[in-house]
């Protein structure tokens, strides 16, 4: 029967755990941070102090558990304390490792988006990770927990270490960590005041880094910051007013049907005669938008923006209010028949509480598991065509489809492959993106080709049934997908063209084919459809977009968003700003080709009018930004 470990033994265990955490946190850093002595010293201090801070909740909880278990017999108390200590520290180390993987792949840390992904039904499934990826992740987590368990058994129970640990004055260890942390915070504050960017950029490599600034004090001391462009946007989203005015609607005598096809991660350059020949041919008889941007770099904001015509940041108040887009309201009021199909779920992202909040459950058809995505996509198209076949021809219909094949790991029938060789087993955790990206991209191209075939089936059916002249057809990607063109794989990380640019093909009966080479946006889709439904309000009453079919249409810039940023995307510049963000934040400023610009203040000045417009739009349907 083992006695309950002492506080000193627990501290000894946590010292070893801290060293493991230091190793994991150090893995988040870049070699460039150690080139300059000042940045290297700051990085070392931040790594030591933040590794301790990440473990501090587990340390405190374990000591509290030890105190609570003192009154319990050692037969129960000792195993319970071991479970608490190993479980809490193992979980912390696993989260640090997961954060490193997420940042390496996507460019951001565990944040609200990742938490939402984990705890919302269907979130993890939406990643599309293969079984090998899941097994690899489980194996790594098991190894980390096993390492913690081994350390506990060795350090808590090994008597040979008792004399060594007696020499440690734990209060002085805490004092040393506190001093290191204070030094790091003061150094960051000075860097923020003096705009010493190497340390400011380095801070972004720490999960939940909390910056300290003393700009007012620095100004009094004569430390003037040359930085005039560092700003985030704080937006209040209560008192939702959407739309701004009641809709004035004169329903058309002959309403048009709507077929709305959206492909996961389908980026702009997939609209190519070789990759997507069916969609390319169709686009020659439609409105083809050649410089089209999603309203986000992830599905949540991309689909939201195309239905609402609002910035992705408006997702949060709409979700809280369970407010569907007015576009869907008008369609329901005009007695449309619906089939809304997805090869993922409607619960993640929570489109059942936003875009399709008021739809009948029997109109929502989610096919998220079982067969591989290519088969789910094909079956959904089967179901959509069957729905159109048996519909009431006296009423208009809307069919929506969300294809999953083009989401990683990019699924396709082998007999339809047009790009070789491809990576057979795409394991997110073990893939070498430096050398295997071409093979991974070939998987993606083949998946896009497969989706093109499914789109072709819909077009063929509409032609055969004589419906193409009474149906609006919309084909979009929810967002783009990058294959290391700008140093990343996937999406959700940056606002470059590869992660935000999508194909856009819109065919409206009676409208001449046209190619638009200027900037267009998902935000323009509702403003284009609503007049076709007889809505007389100006788009500004319900949208941030404009009517693509209106004479003289022109858009000077697009706006995209993710979980806590919003980006201005123009021909010459791209600038992202944090929105209601916590922690270390900064603006990303690049040219039109995504190359970083040194004189970011000049760029901010050049787009000042647009930024004021964006700030006003952020609050247009709620309260003013603070």
For the stretch 571-586, pLDDT in tens is 999 999 888 655 555 5
pLDDT band at 227 (very low <50, low <70, confident <90, very high): very low
CA dist 503 and 306 (Å) reads 13
* Strand blocks (E) in 503-610: 504-507, 514-521, 557-561, 565-570, 573-578, 588-591
Residues in contact with 296: Cβ distance below 8 Å, sequence separation at least 6, in sequence order: 302, 304, 305, 312, 479, 500, 560, 561, 562
Contact 323, 240 (CB under 8 A): yes
Q: How many CB atoms lie within 10 A of CB 517?
A: 9
Q: What is the pLDDT of residues 506-515, one digit of tens each?
A: 999 999 999 9
Residue 214 pLDDT greater than 80, yes or no:
no
Closest-CA residue to 479 (of 298, 332, 616, 325): 298
* Structure token pair of residue 342: 């997805």
Q: Are strands 482-483 and 364-366 parallel, antiparallel or unpaired?
A: unpaired
- The percentage of the chain sitting over the pLDDT mark of 70, rounded to a whole number, equals 84
CA dist 314 and 621 (Å) reads 9
* Structure token pair of residue 602: 């000049």
Q: Are strands 504-507 and 287-293 parallel, antiparallel or unpaired?
A: antiparallel
Residue 267 pLDDT greater than 60, yes or no:
yes
Its sign, for the CA torsion 22, 206, 32, 189, is negative
Contact 85, 12 (CB under 8 A): no
pLDDT band at 10 (very low <50, low <70, confident <90, very high): confident
Please provide residue 604's backbone torsions phi and psi, each rounded to the nearest 5 degrees. -60, -40
The pLDDT of residue 624: 43
Residues in contact with 423: Cβ distance below 8 Å, sequence separation at least 6, in sequence order: 431, 436, 439, 440, 442, 443
The pLDDT of residue 180: 85
124 or 329: whose pLDDT is higher? 329
Contact 377, 403 (CB under 8 A): yes
Q: What is the pLDDT of residues 162-182, one digit of tens each?
A: 555 555 666 777 788 888 888
Domains within the chain, CATH numbers bracketed: 7-220 (no CATH), 257-550 (3.40.720.10)
CA dist 295 and 318 (Å) reads 16
CA dist 446 and 414 (Å) reads 9
Evaluate the omega torsion of the peptide bond into residue 421 and state whether it is cis, within 30 degrees of 0: yes
Q: Is 351 helix (H, G, I), strand (E, B) or coil?
A: helix
CA dist 617 and 237 (Å) reads 12
Q: What is the pLDDT of residues 299-338, one digit of tens each?
A: 999 999 999 999 998 998 999 899 999 999 999 999 999 9
Cα separation values, 185 from 23, 29, 84, 173, 568, Å: 21, 17, 31, 18, 31
Helices first, then strands: H and E counts in the chain: 19, 14
Residue 229 pLDDT greater than 60, yes or no:
no
* Structure token pair of residue 396: 């208009």
The pLDDT of residue 115: 55
Beta bridge mates, 148: none
- Segment among 184-193, 463-472, 527-536 with least mean pLDDT: 184-193
pTM: predicted TM-score of the whole model, two decimal places? 0.76
The residue length of the chain stands at 626
pLDDT band at 223 (very low <50, low <70, confident <90, very high): very low
Burial of 464 (0-12, 13-18, 19+ CB in 10 A): exposed
Q: What is the pLDDT of residues 529-548, one digit of tens each?
A: 999 999 999 999 999 999 99
Residue 13 pLDDT greater than 80, yes or no:
yes
Q: What is the pLDDT of residues 129-148, one digit of tens each?
A: 566 766 777 787 788 888 88
Please provide residue 209's backbone torsions phi and psi, each rounded to the nearest 5 degrees. -65, 130
């Amino acid at each position: 029967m083992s006695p309950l470990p002492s506080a000193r033994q627990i501290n000894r265990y946590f010292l070893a755990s801290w060293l493991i955490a230091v190793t994991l946190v150090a893995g988040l850093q870049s070699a460039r941070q150690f080139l300059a002595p000042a940045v290297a010293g700051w990085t070392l201090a931040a790594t030591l102090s933040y590794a301790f801070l990440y473990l501090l909740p587990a340390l405190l909880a374990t000591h509290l558990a030890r105190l609570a278990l003192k009154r319990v017999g050692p037969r129960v108390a000792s195993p319970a304390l071991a479970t608490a200590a190993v479980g809490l520290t193992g979980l912390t180390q696993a989260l640090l490792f997961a954060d490193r993987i997420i940042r390496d792949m996507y460019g951001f840390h565990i944040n609200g988006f990742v938490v939402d992904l984990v705890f919302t039904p269907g979130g993890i499934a939406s990643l599309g990770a293969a079984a090998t990826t899941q097994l690899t992740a489980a194996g790594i987590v098991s190894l980390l927990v096993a390492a913690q368990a081994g350390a506990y058994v060795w350090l808590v129970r090994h008597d040979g270490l008792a004399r060594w640990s007696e020499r440690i004055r734990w209060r002085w260890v805490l004092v040393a960590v506190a001093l290191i942390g204070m030094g790091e915070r003061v150094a960051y504050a000075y860097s923020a005041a003096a705009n010493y960017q190497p340390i400011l950029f380095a801070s972004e490599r720490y999960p939940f880094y909390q910056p300290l600034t003393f700009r007012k004090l620095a100004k009094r001391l004569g430390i003037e910051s040359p930085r005039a462009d560092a700003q985030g946007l704080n937006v209040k989203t209560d008192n939702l007013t959407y739309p701004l005015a009641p809709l004035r609607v004169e329903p058309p005598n002959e309403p048009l049907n709507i077929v709305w096809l959206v492909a996961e991660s389908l980026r702009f350059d997939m609209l190519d005669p070789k990759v997507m020949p069916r969609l390319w041919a169709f686009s020659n008889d439609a409105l083809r938008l050649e410089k089209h941007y999603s309203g986000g770099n992830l599905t949540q904001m991309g689909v939201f923006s195309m239905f609402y015509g609002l910035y992705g940041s408006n997702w949060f108040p709409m979700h809280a209010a369970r407010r569907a887009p007015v576009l869907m309201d008008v369609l329901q009021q005009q007695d449309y028949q619906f089939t809304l199909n997805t090869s993922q779920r409607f619960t993640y992202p929570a489109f059942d509480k936003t875009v399709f909040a008021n739809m009948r459950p029997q109109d929502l058809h989610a096919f998220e598991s079982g067969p591989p995505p290519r088969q789910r996509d094909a079956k959904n198209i089967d179901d959509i065509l069957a729905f159109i076949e048996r519909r009431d021809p006296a009423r208009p219909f809307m069919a929506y489809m969300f294809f999953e094949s083009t989401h990683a790991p990019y699924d396709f029938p082998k007999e339809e492959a047009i790009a070789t060789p491809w990576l057979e087993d795409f394991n997110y955790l073990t893939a070498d993106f430096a050398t295997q990206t071409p093979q991974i991209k070939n998987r993606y191209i083949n998946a896009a080709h497969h989706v093109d075939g499914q789109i072709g089936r819909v077009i063929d059916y509409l032609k055969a049934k004589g419906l193409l002249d009474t149906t609006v057809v919309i084909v979009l990607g929810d967002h783009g997908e990058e294959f290391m063109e700008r140093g990343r794989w996937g999406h959700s990380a940056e606002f470059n063209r590869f992660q935000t640019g999508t194909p856009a093909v819109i065919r409206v009966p009676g409208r001449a084919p046209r190619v638009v080479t200027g900037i267009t946006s998902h935000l323009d889709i509702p403003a284009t459809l609503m007049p076709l439904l007889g809505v007389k309000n100006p788009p500004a009453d319900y949208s941030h977009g404009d009517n693509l079919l209106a004479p003289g249409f022109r858009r000077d810039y697009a706006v995209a968003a993710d979980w806590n940023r919003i980006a201005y995307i123009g021909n010459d510049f791209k600038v992202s700003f944090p929105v209601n963000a916590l922690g270390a934040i900064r603006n990303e400023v690049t040219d039109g080709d995504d190359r970083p610009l040194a004189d970011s203040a000049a760029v901010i000045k050049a787009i000042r009018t647009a930024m004021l417009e964006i700030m006003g739009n952020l609050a247009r349907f709620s309260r003013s930004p603070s």
